Each structure stands twice: as structure tokens, then as C-alpha cells.
Amino acid sequence: MKNTGIWLDKKKAIIVSIENNKETLHTITSNINRYNPHGGSGTKIKGGPQDVVHDSKYLDREKHELKQYFNAIASQINDTDALVIFGPAGTNEQFNKELHKNYKKLSTKIKAVKKADSMTDNQVKAFIRDFFKSK
């Protein structure tokens, strides 16, 4: 039986698989760019000329890059029997939604989606080991 745990945020995903008491660790970087659109008033004069900022363009680009990131993670965990997803912020929940929407077979293997702060690789391994020992 292959148990897999994923710690992820918008920068990287740490995937730990445990099979026959052997642990393997794999890291995937997201390549999601942080966009800082510039714009607004270019002068100190009230009501002066202003640049138009198209936030939707930047948000669409980030959404597309996030989808590619999730696809890369899903392709690494296709053969797992049980899955736990954890991490800070909402990226773990977004990944859970993506699995339920586009990866039905994988979504049935999810045992838990949990919040967790930033962790080292060894802390991630220990968390996953402890999680599956208690199940």
C-alpha cells in the first residue's frame, strides 16, 4: 500500500510517499510569478492622468499557472492508495477542489486536508509518518 502526503503552498510542493516502510521525497516548484502591476496617478495633481491597471489579466495568468502546478502534482501521485494534503494558507484547499473537479479517481483517496505552517523536509516526513500510523 502506498501512502502519500503533500505539503504545498504557492511556491513549492513537497511530496512524501511511504511504501513498504520506504520513504521517498520529491519537490515540485510552482513557477507561479508574483505580478506587481504598476499604475495609478502619474502626477501629484488631483484628477491628473492615470494609468489603467488590468488586474484581471494578472489574475488570469496566475490562475493558469496554478492549474499547471496542480497538474504537475497530480501526475506525480497517480499511483497512490491514500492521500493527505496539508499546508499554510488556502493552496491546499484549492488543490483539494481541483482534485474533486478534474481528478475524480484521486479525490476518492483523500483522507484529510489539514492546515499546517511552513515545515522542513524532515518535519513533513514525520507529519506524514505520524498521520498514517494513527489511521
- Give the pLDDT of residue 131: 96
- Give the pLDDT of residue 47: 63
| Topology annotation, domain 2-34+55-134 | Nucleotidyltransferase; domain 5 (3.30.420)
- Give the pLDDT of residue 89: 84
Tell me if 77 sits within 8 A of 105, measured CB to CB: no
pTM of the predicted model as reported, rounded to 2 decimal places: 0.84
- Give the pLDDT of residue 58: 80
CB neighbours (10 Å) of residue 76?
Answer: 16
The angle that helices 91-102 and 55-76 make with each other, rounded to 10 degrees, is 70
For the chain, residues with pLDDT lower than 50 are: none
Each domain of the chain, given as residue ranges in start order, spans 2-34+55-134
- Give the pLDDT of residue 39: 57
